[in-house]
Amino acid sequence: MPLLEPNPGALRPRPGGQADSPAADRVPDVRAHGTPARLRADLERLLGAEKVLSSVSDLVRYASDASPYRFVPQVVVLAEDTDDVSRVLAYARDHGRNVVFRAAGTSLNGQAQGEDILVDVRRHWAGVEVLDDEGRQARIGPGTTVFRANASLARHGRLLGPDPASSIACTVGGVVANNASGMTAGTTRNSYRTVASLTVVLPSGTVVDTAAPDADEALARAEPGLCEGLLALKAEIEADPELTARIRAKYELKNTNGYRLDAFLDGNTPVEILRGLMVGSQGTLGFLSELVFDTLPLGRRTSTGLFFFPTLSAAAAAVPLFNEAGALAVELMDGNTLRASVSVQGVPQDWAQLPREATALLVEFRSPDEETQREREQAAREVLDRLELIEPVASVTNELTRDTGTIASYWKARKAFVTAVGGSRPPGTTLITEDFAVPPSRLAEACEALLELQEQHGFDAAVAGHAAHGNLHFLLAFDAADEGDVARYAAFMDDFCRMTVDRFDGSLKAEHATGRNIAPFLELEWGARATELMWRIKELVDPSGVLAPRVLLDRDPRAHLRGLKSIPRTEAIADPCIECGFCEPTCPSEDLTTTPRQRIVLRREMMRQTPGSPVTDSLLADYGYDAVDTCAGDSTCKLDCPVGIDTGALMKQFRHARHSAREERTAALTARHFGAVERAARLALAAAEQARGRLGGRDGARADRALGAVTRAARRAVRPDLVPEWLPEIPGPAARRLPATSRQGAEAVYYPACVNRIFGDPEGHEGPSLPEAMVVVSARAGRPVWIPSDVNGTCCATIWHSKGYEQGNALMANRMVEAAWRWTDGGDLPLVVDASSCTLGLAQEVVPYLTPANRKLHDRLTVLDSLQWAADTLLPRLTVERRVDSATVHPTCSMRHLGDEAELRRVAEACAEEVVVPLDAGCCAFAGDRGLLHEELTASATAREAAEVTSREFDAYLSANRTCEIGMDHATGNRGYHSVIQELERATRPR
C-alpha cells in the first residue's frame, strides 16, 4: 500500500449533505458489490474481462442520460465489433435476459437506459469514410458524433441532413435510431429520407447489409420467417385503403412516435422494408452497426436574423411568411427561454429584462451563391416590413446579418434551450422535455393552447421549437421525490396528449422518438389497429423480446411515471447539471474512467444514500481515481456545457479536500522556494539525459527502462498522484541562462514560462530554443521584447492551482502579479507569455486568489499569449522567406479558453504550404504533469488524434505549450512537436 494513500473519507459528503432517510430511487445496499457474480463471470468468459464493467460505480455512471428517467443496469458491456454484439444477443436469448444499446446517452426519453445488460456502442464505433470525391455519400460508424461527421464532410461542401441541437454530443447511431431531425431537417432531410443504406445486427444475431446486392437472398436464407412476415404485413396494410391513407397523412407532419409504418408502403422487398423500419426503431429491433448517408449541400452563404415579437402568438403567425420567403430554418424561443439563455456564455445579459410575453424567431437562409443570397435577403426584408416587432433591449437589432460570430451566438442560445432552461430550474427538481408537432398553419393556436394548459396545471414552462415545421418543444420541472408533484405532472401529460391528438391531430413525438414518456400514449395517437401492427412488428423481428423492453411499446398506462429520477442537491457548482452529456466528447478521460456528467451522476448517488451506506463506501473507493485523479482539469467541459458547469474546478476542490495540512504547507514551501525547485528540475533532467546517453541506441533505451522502473517503484511506495512516471519522450534540460535582452526600447515584456525554463527542445530539434526564437523574431519584426532578470523562481501558479493546493496557489499568484506589475511599469507594456496554459493562468485563473490590492493591479495588466503576439503584432511586419510543405498543429485546451486557436493556424499557415488541424484534436490531458502521473490518461485522450497524425508524414509538428508538445510526442512516437514561434523564426530568417 502506498505510504501516502489519499483518504477517501475526505470526499465523503458533508454532514447534512445527505438525506436523513435514503431516497426512494437510491441504489439498494444489495447492489453495493456491482454485477452479480454469475452474470459477470459468464460475460467475462464470453467477451473477455476488459469488455465487462461491473462495479457499482460503473453501473451508476451508466444509469442516467439526458432524460428524466434513471434505471441502473446489471452490467455494462463494451462491445468492440458485431461479433461481440451477436454474442451478447445470443447470451440474452439463451438466458432470458434483455439488452439495451447506448451510445452518447443524450436521449431525452430514456432510450439509452436499461435494467439488465447495457451495451456501450460509442467507444469502439466511431469513424467516417467519405465514399466519393464530391462527398455525396459517407459511411459513418454509429458512435460518431454528428459534429465530427459534419467536420469531415465540410471539406467537400456537404453535411448530414439531420441537425439536432445536441449535434456536438449525440451520435449518428442514436440520431438514426430515433430519427432525430433538428432545426432544418423537417420531413425531407431527416434520417428516414437520407440514410441510403445501413448494416443491422438483428436480435437473432443475423447481420444484414441492406446495400449488398444479394441482401434479400441472404436474408431469405437466414431468416425465412422474418421475410415472409414482413411481406405479409405489407400486403395487409396495402389492402386497407383507410389505414394506408392514415399512415401517409401521419407522416406529412414530423412524426417519430412508434415504428415507421410507411416503411411497408415505401419498401418493396423485405430488406427495403427492414431498412425503413430500423430508422426510428429506438434500439428495439436491432443494432445499427454502420450507416451510409446521402449527404446534402452545405450552403456556405448564410444570412440569419433574430427577430423579437410582442407575443408568442404574433411570432407563430409570422412563421409561414418566412417559410414562403425561402427560410431553411425558423426557430421559436419564448420569453422564458430567452431570459434563461442569459446563463449561456455570449448571450446578451439584457435579455433577462425582456417582457414576459416577448418571443423571438431565429430565421436562417442558406444560399449557394451571392446572387441567391441577395434575393433571399430581399424576400426576408419584405416580410419584415409587414411585421410588428419590438426592440425592448439594447442588444435587439431585428436585422439580418452575415457575420459568422453573431450567427454563432444566436445558434448557441437556441441550441442551449434544454440545458439553459434546465440549469435555471429550482434546485432538486427533475426536468421533463417534450416535443410535439401540429400542422404549421395551426402553430399559433397550438402555442396558446399549450400555455393555457401549463397555467391550468401550475407549470411555468419554457417553449421553443422548429416553428417552420410546426414542431414545438417545452420543458417542465417538478420534484420526482414528491408524490403530489408527480401526480400534477401525470395529470398534465394526460391533458397534453389528448389536446395534441383530439384538437390538432398532431404528433405526440415529432423528433425525440417515443421513449418511455410517450409509450403509454402510443395508441391514443395511432389508434388500436395501427398500434397492434406495431406490436406484431416487434414480435416478428424480436420474438424473444430481447431488445429494449418498455422503451417504445408498453401497455401499462402509468409506465411513464416509473423510474423518474430524483435530483438530490450536491456541490453548488454541479447543481444546475441536467445530465445532458454535452460535456462528454471534449473530456480527455471519456474513454478511460469517467466524464464530467458521470462525475456528477456518481456524486448525486452518494447524496441519495444515507451516511455510511455500503453503496456510498463502494462509490468512494473508486471515485478518487476514476473521478478526481484522472480529471485533466482542463475545464473544456465548461466551454461545451451550455450553462458553463466547470467540473474540472470541482475536481480541483476535491483534490484540495484530500490534502493534509502538512501537504498544504509543503506545497506552499515549494512555491516560496520555487527558484531552487526549478534548478533542481533542470539538474534532474540533465542527469537523466546523461544516463540515457544522448547518442541513442540500446544504451539510451536501457536507461529509459531503468528510469521507468525506478519511478514505478517510487509511485507504488509513495503515491501515483505525487510521483511522476518517466517517459522516453521527456526532453533534456533547457539552457541555464535566458537570452540577453534590453529594457530600453522594448515593446513588450517577454515572460518565458517555467516549463520552457526547465524543459529543452525535443530530441533532434535544430535551431534556436523557444526563448531565443521569441527574442530574435520579435526584434526582426521591429518589436523587441525584454526578459526581466528575475523571472527565475516565478510561475503562473497553475502547478498549484491544478492540484488544489490553495496556499501555494495564492502565494505564487500574488507574487507573480506583483512582479508583472513591476516588470510592465504598471501595465504600460503588455506581458507576452510563451505557453498557452500559463497565459490562461496569468490572465484568468489567478484572479480569485489575489488580494484585493493585487486584483486591482491585475486589472491593469495586458497578458498576451505568444500566438496573439505573433499573429497580430509580428506577422504583419515579417517577410516569409521559406515554408515547409506541410505542418500539423495541436490546438491546446488553453487555446480554446483563450480563443486563439485561429491565431495558431494563422501563424502556422505563414510557415507551411499545407496546414492540417486534426479533426480529432482535443485536450492531450498532459495537463502540466498529469500525463507523467497518469500516462494512461494522455494515451487515452490522444489516441484518435495520434492515429490521424501518424497516418501520414508532416514536415512540422506545431503547438504552443511545451508540456502539451511532450504529450503529443509521447502519443505519436517522437514526431518532434515544437512551438510555432520557433517555426516562425525559421520561416522568416533572412536567406
* pLDDT per residue as tens digits for the range 959-968: 999 999 999 9
pLDDT (mean) for 354-382: 93
Q: Which CATH architecture has domain 873-988?
A: 3-Layer(aba) Sandwich (3.40)
Distance between alpha carbon 542 and the CA centroid of its chain, in Å?
A: 33
What is the β-pairing status of strands 884-889 and 956-959? parallel
Query: In terms of DSSP H, where are the helices of 500-643?
Result: 504, 515-518, 522-541, 596-608, 614-623, 636-640
How many other CB atoms are there within 10 angstroms of residue 356's CB atom?
10
- Whether this prediction's pTM lies above 0.75 is answered by yes
Cβ(768)–Cβ(780) below 8 Å = no
> What's the confidence (pLDDT) of residue 696?
53
> What's the confidence (pLDDT) of residue 498?
98
Query: In terms of DSSP H, where are the helices of 183-223?
Result: 191-194, 215-222
Distance between alpha carbon 197 and the CA centroid of its chain, in Å?
A: 27
Which range, of 14-23, 453-462, 826-835, 935-944, averages the lowest pLDDT? 14-23
pLDDT tens-digit series, residues 804-839: 999 999 999 999 999 999 999 999 999 999 999 999
Indicate the pLDDT class of residue 431, thresholds 50, 70 and 90.
confident
Cβ(459)–Cβ(476) below 8 Å = yes
> What's the confidence (pLDDT) of residue 695?
42
Helix/strand/coil for 884: strand
For the cut 50, the answer to whether the pLDDT of residue 15 exceeds it is yes
Backbone CA torsion sign across 729, 730, 733, 739 = positive
Please state, in angstroms and rounded to a whole number, the distance separating the CA atoms of residues 381 and 359. 19
For the CA atoms of 333, 339, 340, 341, the dihedral, rounded to the nearest 10 degrees, stands at 70
Spatial strand order of the sheet with 462-466 comes to 400-401, 301-309, 359-367, 329-333, 462-466, 471-478, 430-437
> What's the confidence (pLDDT) of residue 528?
97
> What's the confidence (pLDDT) of residue 715?
44
- DSSP codes joined into one string, 285-305: S-EEEEEEEE-EE---EEEEE
Which DSSP symbol is given to 521? G
For the cut 80, the answer to whether the pLDDT of residue 123 exceeds it is yes
> What's the confidence (pLDDT) of residue 566?
94
Q: What angle do CA 753, 758, 764 make, to 5 degrees?
A: 110
For the cut 90, the answer to whether the pLDDT of residue 954 exceeds it is yes
Q: Which of 542, 430, 391, 967 is nearest to 731 (CA)?
A: 967
pLDDT (mean) for 113-138: 96
- Distances from the Cα of 802 to the Cα of 648, 814, 846, 963, angstroms: 9, 16, 11, 14
Cβ(697)–Cβ(686) below 8 Å = no
Please state, in angstroms and rounded to a whole number, the distance separating the CA atoms of residues 866 and 872. 10
pLDDT tens-digit series, residues 579-629: 999 999 999 999 999 999 999 999 999 999 998 899 999 999 999 999 999
- Distances from the Cα of 398 to the Cα of 50, 325, 435, 629, angstroms: 56, 17, 27, 48
Please give the span between the terminal C-alpha atoms of the chain, in angstroms, as a whole number.
61
Query: In terms of DSSP H, where are the helices of 746-879?
Result: 754-758, 770-780, 798-803, 806-823, 836-840, 852-860, 866-868
Q: Which of 90, 113, 909 is nearest to 549 (CA)?
A: 113
> What's the confidence (pLDDT) of residue 327?
94
Query: If residue 230 lies in a helix (H) or strand (E), which one and from where to where?
Result: helix 224-238
pLDDT tens-digit series, residues 749-797: 999 999 999 999 998 899 999 999 999 999 999 999 999 999 999 999 9
pLDDT (mean) for 881-898: 97
Cβ(223)–Cβ(247) below 8 Å = no
What are the cell numbers at 497? 396528449
- CATH number belonging to the domain at 32-297+513-548, selected among 3.30.1050.10, 3.20.80.10, 3.40.50.2300, 3.30.465.10: 3.30.465.10
What are the cell numbers at 210? 441492406
Please state, in angstroms and rounded to a whole number, the distance separating the CA atoms of residues 857 and 526. 67
Q: Which CATH architecture has domain 301-512?
A: 3-Layer(aba) Sandwich (3.40)
What are the cell numbers at 750? 517577454
Q: Where are the domains positioned within the chain?
A: 1-30+568-643, 32-297+513-548, 301-512, 873-988
